[in-house]
A and B are shown apart, each in its own frame.
Chain A
Amino acid sequence: MSPVFEAISLSKTFRRWWSRQEVQALQDVNCAVAPGTVFGLLGPNGAGKTTLVKIALTIASGDSGEVRLLGESNRNRSVLRRVGYLPENPRFPAHLTARQTLRLYGNLSGAETKNVCENASKWLERLDLARWQDVRVSKFSKGMNERLAFAQALVHDPDLIFLDEPTDGLDPLGRREVRTICRELADAGKTVFINSHILAEIELICDRIALMKSGRIIEQGTIAEVTSSRGGYELVVPASSGVGEWLRGKTLTFAAVDGRFHVELPDRSAANALIDALRQKNIEIESLAVKRRTLESVFFDRISSE
């Protein structure tokens, strides 16, 4: 199945015309997102995440390379009818009510008014804004504004949705609802592309992630691939007499916890070698598990090492 989002050798340099100062925002970025998934783009501030999304949506233009959305070049603006976007710090016309806002942006996306009105009611209800639908957005709190922005990204029933910091300003219930909706959208065959620096949120909902730093993608894969490839293994054996000395003799790293020894092993071959040695000594093995690192620890390691 062809990707719904593709960045092909995308580069972008920001220049000020009155000075020689340049900022290389994107350097030969290649990225592809499969349909029906939740994709997370991570990176520190200034990594180029928002620039990548803005170029994809023609809000900015790349210096070289190409972006394809839903199989078409993003230069064909009609493809944007099927794309939704929640920008960072969205700002709506203060004179409109919530319902009017959704209707305006739904119509601007080319959707039929009847469908927009139906979807507006649905998303206002779902995002707990139904009571506020006839209130002017100038009276909204930050969290309400974010929820309205989320509704605005979905009101025209897009197939590909870009969310830039979607949980910014939301309370825990709101964040959970956003995660639930993202999952439901992906299960319904739509694709969600999330830009965020809140790693815990990304870890909870994304199927695949990419890590960006200084305009480059330095890591891509599923959460499991990214976190487990460096974690190693943990083998647990009962702390019977003699086992501790035997393990020390093998110069293995282990800790005694609640009558058990937790042995850390760097990779699969080390784990298999120890299993063989333990079975030869008739030492029981209680458990063997892939030792996962958190996304946060991987993030810090990769960002600081590059």
Chain B
Amino acid sequence: MKSGIFLDTFQESFRNKMFLFFFVASSLVVGSIGLALNMDVVNGVMRGVSFFGNELRVPAFTVTEWVERLQSTLAMLIGTFGLVLALMATSTLFPQMLQKGSVDLLLCRPIPRWRLITARYLGGASIMAFNAVYLFLGVWAVLGWKSGVWNHGFLLSTILAIFAFVVLFSVVMMVSVTTESGPTGLLAAVTVLIFSPVLAAHEQITPAFSSELYRQVFRSIYWVLPKSAETIGAMRRLITERPLDVNWVVGTSLAFAVACYFATMIYFTRKDY
């Protein structure tokens, strides 16, 4: 009984090709790097790079520097575009479950309501986590094989990528359950993501405010909302082996995600359907 909704979420993603889309997209990235990227290295320094036969101009980086920068760029792309795609793909999971006629069939079962929503959430998060691990592991393996540079920081950044998704997915869950609208949940999460770098620059922005009240409000919003921009930034620092201080980023973002989770549970367990 316990794994029914969790497994059904996976089945649904297979059926609506979501899983297939991400798997194919990830495979294309890994395959492109593996087959189409060629590096010309002389005495540990990059002399030339070609991609699909096209020569790319590269500065005189060492192989390690070049691989780190490539991985860092990929992580940025995954942390932005990839994250948005993942949120788009999973934004319909909750509204579909809550449709009239569908939710009745679930709520009449001997399963607590919180467990239904949690299983759905974990199912969606697991699907994206699997895809993220596949992509990061694939890129790490292919680049490592081609260049001889095995950057464990890139592998570890998978955890931060999954974490960034899980936090924003909690926003999708809370908003889409309360509004019963997938697009609204997605908009809320993407808005948080887009404004995250703006909020991250609060120390540069708040001096421009005329009122101390506005400055406090802005800083409060920054501290309450998840730190998606800092999380993606932390991925880059991890990949390029720079000093990392993410405890406060992870802590506050996790607290926000937990708050979204509990708000959803309180709402869902009390609502009449």
Q: Which residues from chain A sit less than 8 Å from chain B, CB to CB?
A: 14, 54, 57-61, 77-81, 83, 85, 87-96, 100, 104-105, 107-110, 152
Q: Are B11 and A91 in contact, with the CB atoms below 8 A? A: no
Smallest CB gap from A101: residue in B:
B105
Q: In the complex, what's the smallest C-beta–C-beta distance from A162 to chain B, in angstroms?
A: 8
Given contacts A87-B104, A105-B105, contact A110 B273 (CB under 8 A): no
Q: Within the assembled complex, what's the spacing in Å between the Cα atoms of A80 and B108?
A: 7
In the bound complex, residues from chain A placing their C-beta under 8 Å from that of B101 are: 87-91
- Supposing A91-B100, A104-B4, A104-B8 touch, asked if A85 and B105 sit within 8 A by C-beta, the answer is yes
Supposing A60-B272, A87-B101, A108-B4 touch, asked if A77 and B12 sit within 8 A by C-beta, the answer is no
Interface size of B as a range: 20 to 34
Residue pair A79, B110 in contact (C-beta under 8 Å): yes
- Could you tell me if A95 and B273 are in contact, using CB atoms closer than 8 angstroms? no
Q: Does B107 contact A (CB under 8 A)?
A: yes
Known: A90-B101, A95-B12, A104-B8. A58 touches B1 (CB 8 A): no
Q: Quick one: given A59-B272, A60-B273, are A90 and B107 in contact (CB under 8 Å)?
A: no
Chain A CB within 8 A of B43 CB: no
> Which A residues are in CB contact (< 8 Å) with B148?
none
Q: Which one of B8, B104, B270 has the greatest number of beta carbons of chain A within 10 Å?
A: B104
Give the residue name and chain of the B residue nearest to A156 (CB).
B109
* Chain A residue at minimum C-beta to C-beta distance from B16: A95
Contact: B107 with A58, CB < 8 Å?
Answer: yes
Among B99, B106, B109, B270, the one with the most A-chain Cβ atoms within 10 Å of its Cβ is: B109
Q: What are the 3 A-B residue pairs with the smallest beta carbon separation, nearest first?
A: A95-B15, A91-B101, A60-B272
Among A57, A78, A110, point to the contact of B107 (Cβ < 8 A). A57
Q: List, in ascending order, chain A residues with CB within 8 A of B105's CB.
A: 85, 87, 90-92, 105, 152
Please determine whether A93 and B109 come into contact, CB atoms closer than 8 angstroms. no
Measured in the bound complex, the distance between the Cα atoms of B100 and A96 in whole Å is 18
Residue contact B273 to A108, C-beta cutoff 8 Å = no
> Would you give the shortest CB distance from B135 to chain A, in whole angstroms?
24
Contact A77–B110 (Cβ < 8 Å) = yes
* A89 to B101 alpha-carbon distance, docked (Å): 6
- Look across to chain B and name the residue whose beta carbon is closest to the beta carbon of A96: B11
- A-B contact list, 7 entries, CB within 8 Å: A59-B104, A77-B111, A89-B101, A93-B8, A95-B15, A96-B11, A109-B109
Contacting residues, chain B, for A83 (C-beta < 8 A): 108
Determine whether B112 belongs to the interface, using a CB cutoff of 8 Å to chain A.
yes
CA distance A79 to B111 in the complex (A): 11
Q: Is B247 an interface position by the 8 A CB rule?
A: no
In the bound assembly, the distance between CA atoms of A198 and B1 in angstroms comes to 35
User: Which residues on the B side are within 8 Å of A96 (C-beta)?
Assistant: 8, 11
Separation of A92 and B103 alpha carbons in the complex (Å): 10
Per the bound structure, the CA–CA distance linking A104 and B272 in Å amounts to 24
Contacts of A104 in B (CB 8 A): 4, 8
A122 to B240, CA, bound (A): 62
List the B side residues contacting A80 at CB < 8 Å: 108-110
- Residues of the B chain whose Cβ atoms lie less than 8 Å from the Cβ of A94: 15
Residues of B within 8 A of A59 (CB): 103-104, 107-108, 272-273
Chain A residues within 8 Å of B100, by CB = 89, 91
How many angstroms between the C-alpha atoms of A248 and B139 in the bound complex?
103
A-contact 0/1 string along B80-109, CB 8 Å cutoff: 000000000000000010011111111111
Closest CB in chain B relative to A57 CB, distance in Å: 4
Expressed in whole angstroms, the Cα–Cα distance for A58 and B270 within the complex equals 10
A77–B12 CA distance with the chains assembled, in angstroms: 27
Report the Cα distance A87→B14, complex, angstroms: 27
B181-215: contact bitstring with A at CB < 8 Å (1 yes, 0 no)?
A: 00000000000000000000000000000000000
Which of B16, B100, B110 lies at the interface centre, i.e. has the most chain A CB atoms within 10 A of its CB? B110
- Cα-based distance from A59 to B273 in the complex (angstroms): 6
User: Measured between alpha carbons, how far is A152 from B105 in the docked complex, in Å?
Assistant: 9
Is there contact, CB below 8 Å, between B102 and A92? yes
Give me 6 other A-B pairs in contact (C-beta within 8 A), A83-B108, A92-B105, A108-B109 excluded.
A57-B107, A80-B109, A91-B105, A109-B1, A109-B109, A110-B1
Residues of B within 8 A of A77 (CB): 110-112
Closest to A90 in B: B101
- Kindly state the separation between the CA atoms of A110 and B4 in the bound complex, as whole angstroms: 10
CA A81 – CA B1 in complex, angstroms?
11
Contact assessment for A85 and B108 in the assembled complex, using a CB-CB cutoff below 8 Å:
yes
State the CA gap A152–B104 with chains docked (Å). Answer: 12
**Cβ-defined contact, A81 with B11, below 8 A:** no
Alpha-carbon distance between A91 and B15 when the two chains are bound, in angstroms: 17
Docked Cα-Cα span, A110 to B3, in Å, equals 11
Q: Which residue of A lies closest to B8 (CB)?
A: A104
Q: In residues 146-180 of chain B, which contact A (Cβ within 8 Å)?
A: none
- Closest residue of B by beta carbon distance from A100: B11
Complex CA distance for A168 and B16, rounded to whole angstroms: 29
A28–chain B nearest beta-carbon distance, Å? 19
